[in-house]
Amino acid sequence: MLIEWLQSHLLSLMVFLPTAGALFILLLPKNEAASIKATALGFTLFTLLTNIWAWWFFHGLADFELQETLTWIPAFNIYYRLGVDGVSFLLITLTNFLMPLVVLSSWREIRTKLKEYMFLMLILQTGMVGTFAALDLFLFYVFWEVMLIPMYFLIGVWGSGRKIMAAFKFILYTMIGSVLMLVAILYGYFKGGQSFNFVDWLTIPFGLKEQLWLFLAFGLAFAIKVPLFPFHTWLPDAHTEAPTAGSVILAGVLLKMGTYGFYRFAMPFFPEAVRYFSPYILTLAVVGIVYGSLVAMVQKDVKRLVAYSSVAHLGFVILGLFALNQKGVEGAVLQMINHGLSTGALFLLVGMIYERRHTRQISAYGGIAAKVPVYAFFFIFVTLSSIGLPGLNNFVGEFLVLLGAFETKGIFGIVAVLGVVLSAIYMLWMVERVFFGKLEHEENKKLQDLGLREVLILVPLCLAMIGIGVYPKPIMNKMHSSTEAFLKLTMRTDAKASAQLLTPSHQYMKNDARIIKN
């Protein structure tokens, strides 16, 4: 009985297990560091196990699976409505995969206010999983905001350097975007029969002008999150000053909120606007790829370099999404996951060396490969993944994105190929200056190589990189029908057509909502 009940509430379980963990941590005494850490790790692992369990029940059909619907605020037609398609399911899996590693990485780094830190981490996880799982726009907005607050504190309290400025810039940027999104959500709510239901929105007959404005409002919120050039300047600051775990989550998951937002809401809701804006957005994406790479190249701080590289990598994701063919979109989704793994791993690695030397300046290193061979191995391995070496994860995604973009958007695909060259330049140049050459700085001669805990953090990530690089099919199989459905919706020419495009489960969700209402 219990098992069955749990099986039908897998998504809620994944959303609220971390909250339960957070509440549990509140009950623990402040100075019990070991049990606080153990609790946090335990709950994130538990969530991961639930996720693995859900993997067997998720079939990757076109419609939303693992659905749950409850009435929440009936007066305003607000529902607690969860459900995932292939893309959101994979992103949730990425989140839950990264969380235990991130908690492990904070083991020694966080020395002050550990209790509050772990509490916020777990709340953050609830926010992230919830954002991916929500199918009610109001619920989505709630989770979206829930996710921002802990991140603000993570940067502001546990960050380094100009952390207050970074945290403030982060919250300011994102708030501007989300406020506009809220306005757009409310406009649609009143325009389309007072419903926050994702499926209802697909059939709201927006006029062209409305579509353009609403797309801009949604799109700005998401573009800031991605970040799309020129809305990216919060990112280097936030990434650099955040604690390691914060950077990993920011890069690994939070940036995907932007691209996911485009995929889930902005593009299928406003197909006319997509057609209208797509040349501009493609331009910004390609500019981001080239510009981000070039600026990354001249950074003096390793973490800032990785941060700028994110601008380039996310440019590929947007390029793939707006290529509007299946190769491009699937490549983009794959790149969302790959970027989470590779850039996440890079931030973890930078954090590990920062813990030892308390500096991230490239010039403070040089020749350390001889001193810390295992660390160098992992770093170079992840670097190779990040620059898209065939056989590792990024290659598959980049290849599909570029192929898709070349096929339908010609010139944008051609310029984006430059990114392949540039990524090799900035990454390998950095590796050369940090790891190779003579060991000159006195402090580096005492560097300790990685310990068991750190190796345990990195090995799962590296195995995932090889896994996706060599055999991406199991992951791609989960998303085929979802991306097909996405393309049909985004490329539909009139709102009436969308009624026919809805899959059986979409329909089910609609009816289900009515039943509860009645």
249 lines the binding site for other proteins (CB under 8 A):
no
In contact, 249 and 124? CB cutoff 8 Å: yes
149 lines the binding site for other proteins (CB under 8 A):
no
Least Å distance, CB 269 to other proteins, is 23
Which letter, b or e, does each residue of 431-450 get, where b requires 16 or more Cβ atoms within 10 Å of its Cβ? Answer: bebbbeeeeebeebeebeeb
Tell me which stretch binds other proteins (CB under 8 A): 39-47, 88-96, 125-133, 320-328.
320-328
Which is nearer to other proteins, 186 or 216 (by Cβ)? Answer: 216
43 lines the binding site for other proteins (CB under 8 A):
no
Write the DSSP string, 95-123.
HHHHHHHHHHHTTTT--SSHHHHHHHHHH
169 lines the binding site for other proteins (CB under 8 A):
yes
417 lines the binding site for other proteins (CB under 8 A):
yes
SS3 state of residue 232: coil
Least Å distance, CB 276 to other proteins, is 24
Tell me which stretch binds other proteins (CB under 8 A): 22-30, 69-77, 134-142, 371-379.
371-379
Tell me which stretch binds other proteins (CB under 8 A): 38-46, 118-126, 228-236, 249-257.
228-236
432 lines the binding site for other proteins (CB under 8 A):
yes
Q: How far is 28 from 373, CA to CA, in rounded Å?
A: 40
Least Å distance, CB 466 to other proteins, is 11
Residue type for 95, please?
Answer: T
402 lines the binding site for other proteins (CB under 8 A):
yes
233 lines the binding site for other proteins (CB under 8 A):
yes
Least Å distance, CB 151 to other proteins, is 18
Binder to other proteins among 52, 179, 374, 411 (CB under 8 A)? 374
Count interface residues toward other proteins (CB under 8 A): 57
179 lines the binding site for other proteins (CB under 8 A):
no
Q: How far is 69 from 80, CA to CA, in rounded Å?
A: 6
Of 7, 132, 139, 124, which is closest to residue 81 (Cα–Cα)? 139
Residue type for 23, please?
Answer: L
Per-residue contact flags (x/-) with other proteins for residues 451 to 480, judged by CB under 8 A? --------------------xxx--x---x
313 lines the binding site for other proteins (CB under 8 A):
no
Distances in Å between the Cα of 250 and the Cα atoms of 205, 419, 504 are: 36, 22, 35
- Angle formed by the axes of helices 271-297 and 302-323, nearest 10°: 150
DSSP-assigned beta bridge partners for residue 391? none
- 25 Cα distance to chain centroid: 26
For 100, residues 6+ apart whose C-beta sits below 8 A from its C-beta are 41, 44, 45, 48
Task: Name the token pair of 76.
Answer: 């305003």
- 220 Cα distance to chain centroid: 17
Binder to other proteins among 367, 447, 466, 492 (CB under 8 A)? 367
Q: How far is 445 from 366, CA to CA, in rounded Å?
A: 11
Binder to other proteins among 45, 182, 216, 418 (CB under 8 A)? 418
Q: What is the DSSP letter of 340?
A: H
325 lines the binding site for other proteins (CB under 8 A):
yes
Burial of 332 (0-12, 13-18, 19+ CB in 10 A): buried
Which is nearer to other proteins, 11 or 475 (by Cβ)? Answer: 475
438 lines the binding site for other proteins (CB under 8 A):
yes
Burial of 24 (0-12, 13-18, 19+ CB in 10 A): middle
Q: How far is 208 from 190, CA to CA, in rounded Å?
A: 17
Least Å distance, CB 103 to other proteins, is 25
* Cis previous bond, 230, omega within 30: yes
Which is nearer to other proteins, 118 or 341 (by Cβ)? Answer: 341
- 119 Cα distance to chain centroid: 21
- 511 Cα distance to chain centroid: 32
Least Å distance, CB 426 to other proteins, is 9
Least Å distance, CB 59 to other proteins, is 17
Least Å distance, CB 333 to other proteins, is 10
Binder to other proteins among 20, 428, 466, 501 (CB under 8 A)? 428
391 lines the binding site for other proteins (CB under 8 A):
yes
Q: Site residues (CB under 8 A) for other proteins?
A: 169, 172-173, 230, 233-234, 291, 294-295, 297-299, 325-327, 330, 367, 369-370, 373-374, 377, 384, 389-391, 395-396, 399-400, 402-403, 406-407, 413-414, 417-418, 420-421, 424-425, 428-429, 431-432, 435-439, 449, 471-473, 476, 480
